[in-house]
Chain A
């Protein structure tokens, strides 16, 4: 059976998570087609065609898909996806939004946020904020799946030579309209795919103090994250939240600063390769998962960290 991967993109470039999803598709096995739906998204189609292991790229370029409204996208994907054995998308906010709608339109179950492929119908996924790992078998004819990007190594972005086909299929459900968007601009690496992440929690005390983390992040080329407590307190915007209900990250190095380590936060960063924690409370649960723990006042330790990094980087 062949597999349809729905590209994650911003109408100008392909998001790296798409390459992770293609890797999950490879693990399932079969011909892999990519569907790029968007507005003026030709360059995304070209980029998708270069990804390793891709058979064919379908491009649905129309204003109705420009803002990835779930109502329109789901009708398109359900129609195109009918001919496939598996439909896969990244478990980002876009995939989480439209994919269950696709599954319901096709009258099949969805398997959310898979971390591993056991066979073409059996998948491994976290439940209870990652405190239990379930192996589930999907019995429906079409498997609708969202993929946790950090759990799969991306396929190469170059080297493929898939054919690109324009898809003249316009689905406008007429139920919703885009009004506006506020996207946080940042020169730093994307949080979900950064190699190093430094995160602050309630211990940062205010948003101004996050500047201390920015200086360290600049030294390391790191992305900046936050705990729910820091977001709820208004220190930083919500798209920086790492955890069960925020972003799932698995960087090479995760530095937790002033974060106690609640279950819900650990769900978002527990798969990091190396975890370092700076916290003044030596009983903080974060130390139970940290490879390197430093019991210290962050207001002294973080500036020192910046100085030490200057010496070695």
Chain B
């Protein structure tokens, strides 16, 4: 079966972001970018499904500026077979991203679509669920285990309080949680080979989707910083401060 994986280019997760002085957004100039960590887990899961003989082809798709092709190449180096780049310089919000992905799903007809549960920049946690709604598929969100059996997939989900397992009819949408797997690193030969793998570029217009913005960002600010604290000498002083100064115990 064919598996479609959506990946996103985001600021590297280790970078401490800086808010622009004019409060219009976060400064992304000259900042290290990378594949969203949850998307790496999605790619890894697809590759494992292929290694198990469950998946026959892995198509990786991204939406974003020209530079996003780096993330497709990374996914190809990790084991995806071909890439689709929906190129746009505009900000694409979750609902429009889901509509673009829906068009790709209609063209490619994958049995399983895997996405990360959230991107670490917008922290929305929406696109997979929206795609499932638009395509009329079942959804297995925050997955920590994915087992494909015949025309069904069993997804163990990380929920408040513990774990929950659901069975979904295929085709279905799965979004990955951190504990689904440990993504591999791309080897140099695989990175070289990935350069020769097919990568198709298209525009939102090619897919018949108009990029509109339903949420306008009025301002972006740095969070309130905490007052500098103190170092205490020992446990007795710590307990004393908590009880008599902070009055929280």
Chain A residues within 8 Å of B, Cβ to Cβ = 67, 69-71, 74, 92-94, 96-105, 107-113, 122, 126-140, 173-184, 192, 196, 220, 228, 231-232, 237-239, 244-245, 247, 252-253, 263-264, 270, 273-276, 278, 282, 287, 289-296, 301, 304-305, 308-309, 311-313
A100 surroundings in chain B (CB, below 8 A): 94, 124-130, 133
Contact A295 B231 (CB under 8 A): yes
B177 surroundings in chain A (CB, below 8 A): 238, 245
Question: How far, in whole Å, are A70 and B133 apart by their CA atoms in the complex?
Answer: 10
B103 surroundings in chain A (CB, below 8 A): none
Contact B159 A94 (CB under 8 A): yes
- A287 CB, min distance to chain B CBs, angstroms: 7
Question: How far, in whole Å, are A146 and B46 apart by their CA atoms in the complex?
Answer: 30
Chain B residues within 8 Å of A, Cβ to Cβ = 11, 13-14, 16-17, 19, 26, 93-95, 98, 117-118, 120-134, 136-142, 144, 154, 157-169, 172, 177-179, 213-223, 226-227, 229-232, 234-236, 238-239, 241-243, 246, 248-249
27 inter-chain pairs at a CB distance below 8 angstroms, sorted by A residue, are A70-B139, A92-B160, A93-B159, A97-B142, A100-B94, A101-B133, A103-B126, A107-B95, A110-B126, A128-B11, A128-B26, A132-B220, A133-B221, A136-B217, A139-B215, A175-B168, A181-B162, A183-B162, A184-B161, A232-B179, A239-B158, A239-B163, A245-B118, A291-B227, A292-B230, A296-B235, A308-B238
Contact B223 A133 (CB under 8 A): yes
Contact B144 A238 (CB under 8 A): yes
Is chain A's interface secondary structure helix, strand, loop, or mixed overall?
mixed
Is chain B's interface secondary structure helix, strand, loop, or mixed overall?
mixed
B130 surroundings in chain A (CB, below 8 A): 100-101, 103-104, 110
A278 surroundings in chain B (CB, below 8 A): 238
Q: Which residue of chain A has its CB nearest to the CB of B99? A: A104
- B240 CB, min distance to chain A CBs, angstroms: 8
Question: How far, in whole Å, are A174 and B169 apart by their CA atoms in the complex?
Answer: 9
